[in-house]
């Protein structure tokens, strides 16, 4: 299929696109409940404006299902359960479904315990952390989510030049009266997926966000996966203050691998995600009203701060996502031509009606 045959940006209702994605996953062998859950969360991610982790992930997920990298059916195994804490082995089941199930269980338990803490080994990809954290803020809770890949060696420790760590994304979210604050970042300047996208497109980064094999800063994304000696992703803080990103990376590794009891020491031979989730009920502390009042005040002070550029006032993380959701509810979800083409190709392969993409 030629991309020139597809509009620059396709807008379609989110429920119709979610139905298509669920049909694709089901046709690939995924349990129906898992398929619907994964599809809905991918669409929410697109609606929030995080298109790299929305329906653009469908082809990769379908390929993983086909190769057996993602388990299509089954249940997680409980390693330990104390009520307030829970550890699962995800058995490489769909990560978004595993996380939604853990969140649902956590919402029940956090009301009793005030804090619910969850750790999981061997999940598949858990998608956009902010989209998961939003499930908590919608219910008035705080959320901390972190993820690492024990098999991935893409980030060198500060002062080193050999990849050892994964980018180690983490999110922290809390509600305000008007919108949820959704902080979603990682311990390195950029991610493996973004680096691969740049390399495939023959593009360089605007800034030196990688290190070459000798540990020198570079803008060349090919350094991460070259035929010769490999480079690595640069830690947050760069050459001068990379110890700060290193500290964050170590924190994520400890939360996701130390607490799950599975990690680099086990030398896994396949990619997988380890996860840490903590839900906090403000009602168990100084009270939900007090928490909202404090965070509303902070948000107001941030907005009132004199901007460097008057045309670009201070914006909190999560504000744009809230606006994007409202816009996509009105106008439909925007899909890039490359994503549409990939979805059409899989629909043809799995014999699924793709009329919604016409």
Q: b/e string for 50-71 if b means 16 or more Cβ within 10 A?
A: bbebbbbbbbebbebbeeebbb
Output the pLDDT for position 2.
44
Cα 95 to Cα 89, 128, 143, 184, 313: the distances in Å are 11, 11, 17, 17, 36
Backbone angles phi, psi at 262, to 5 degrees: -150, 130
Closest CA to 316 of 176, 137, 141, 127: 176
At 199, is the secondary structure helix, strand, or coil? helix
Backbone angles phi, psi at 316, to 5 degrees: -85, 150
Output the pLDDT for position 1.
45
Output the pLDDT for position 226.
64
pTM of the complete model beyond 0.85: yes
Domains of the chain, each with CATH number or no CATH: 3-188+235-288+325-357 (3.30.1370.60), 190-234 (3.30.60.50), 296-321 (no CATH)
Q: For 216-336, where are the alpha helices, taking DSSP H only?
A: 238-253, 288-304, 319-331
Q: What is the pLDDT along the chain (358 residues), one digit of tens a residue?
A: 444 444 457 789 999 999 999 999 999 999 999 999 999 999 999 999 998 899 999 999 999 999 999 999 999 999 999 999 999 999 999 999 999 999 999 999 999 999 999 999 999 999 999 999 999 999 999 999 999 999 999 999 999 999 999 999 999 999 999 999 999 999 999 998 889 888 888 999 999 999 999 999 999 999 988 666 899 999 999 999 999 999 999 999 999 999 999 999 999 999 999 999 999 999 999 999 999 999 999 999 999 999 999 999 999 999 999 999 999 999 999 999 999 999 999 999 999 999 999 8
Closest CA to 43 of 77, 74, 20: 20
Backbone angles phi, psi at 9, to 5 degrees: -140, 125
Task: Please tell me what DSSP assigns to residue 66.
Answer: H
* The 232-233 sheet, strands edge to edge: 217-218, 210-211, 232-233
Q: Write the CB contacts of 286 (distance below 8 Å, at least 6 apart in sequence).
A: none
Closest CA to 97 of 71, 78, 79: 71
Q: For 114-256, where are the alpha helices, taking DSSP H only?
A: 129-137, 192-201, 238-253
Structural contact between residues 162 and 246, judged by C-beta atoms closer than 8 angstroms: no
Q: Maximum distance among all alpha carbons in the chain?
A: 58
Tell me the C-alpha distance between 41 and 317, whole Å. Answer: 19
């Amino acid at each position: 299929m030629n991309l020139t045959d597809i509009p620059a940006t396709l807008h379609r209702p989110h429920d119709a696109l979610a139905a298509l994605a669920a049909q694709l996953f089901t046709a690939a062998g995924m349990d129906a409940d898992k398929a619907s859950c994964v599809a809905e969360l991918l669409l929410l991610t697109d609606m929030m404006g995080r298109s790299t982790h929305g329906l653009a992930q469908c082809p990769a997920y379908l390929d993983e299902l086909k190769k057996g990298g993602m388990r299509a059916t089954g249940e997680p195994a409980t390693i330990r359960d104390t009520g307030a804490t829970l550890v699962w082995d995800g058995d490489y089941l769909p990560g978004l479904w595993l996380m939604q199930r853990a969140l649902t269980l956590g919402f029940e338990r956090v009301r009793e315990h005030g804090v619910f803490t969850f750790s999981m080994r061997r999940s598949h990809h858990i998608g956009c952390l902010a989209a998961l954290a939003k499930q908590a803020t919608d219910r008035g809770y705080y959320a901390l989510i972190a993820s690492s890949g024990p098999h991935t060696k893409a980030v060198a420790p500060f002062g080193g030049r050999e990849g050892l760590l994964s980018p180690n994304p983490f999110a922290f979210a809390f509600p305000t009266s008007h919108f949820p604050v959704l902080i979603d970042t990682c311990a390195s300047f950029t991610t493996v997926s973004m680096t691969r996208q740049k390399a495939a497109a023959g593009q360089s980064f605007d800034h030196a966000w990688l290190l070459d094999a000798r540990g020198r800063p570079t803008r060349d994304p090919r350094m991460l996966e070259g035929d010769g000696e490999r480079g690595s992703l640069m830690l947050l803080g760069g050459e001068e203050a990379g110890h700060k990103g290193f500290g964050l990376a170590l924190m994520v590794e400890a939360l996701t691998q130390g607490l799950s009891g599975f990690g680099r020491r086990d030398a896994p031979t396949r990619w997988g995600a380890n996860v840490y989730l903590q839900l906090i009920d403000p009602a168990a502390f100084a009270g939900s009203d007090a928490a909202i009042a404090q965070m509303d005040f902070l948000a107001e002070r941030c907005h009132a701060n004199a901007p460097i550029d008057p045309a670009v006032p201070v914006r909190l993380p999560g504000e744009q996502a809230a606006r994007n959701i409202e816009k996509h509810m009105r106008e439909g979800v925007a899909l890039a031509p490359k994503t549409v083409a990939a979805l059409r190709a899989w629909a043809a392969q799995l014999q699924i009606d793709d009329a919604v993409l016409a």
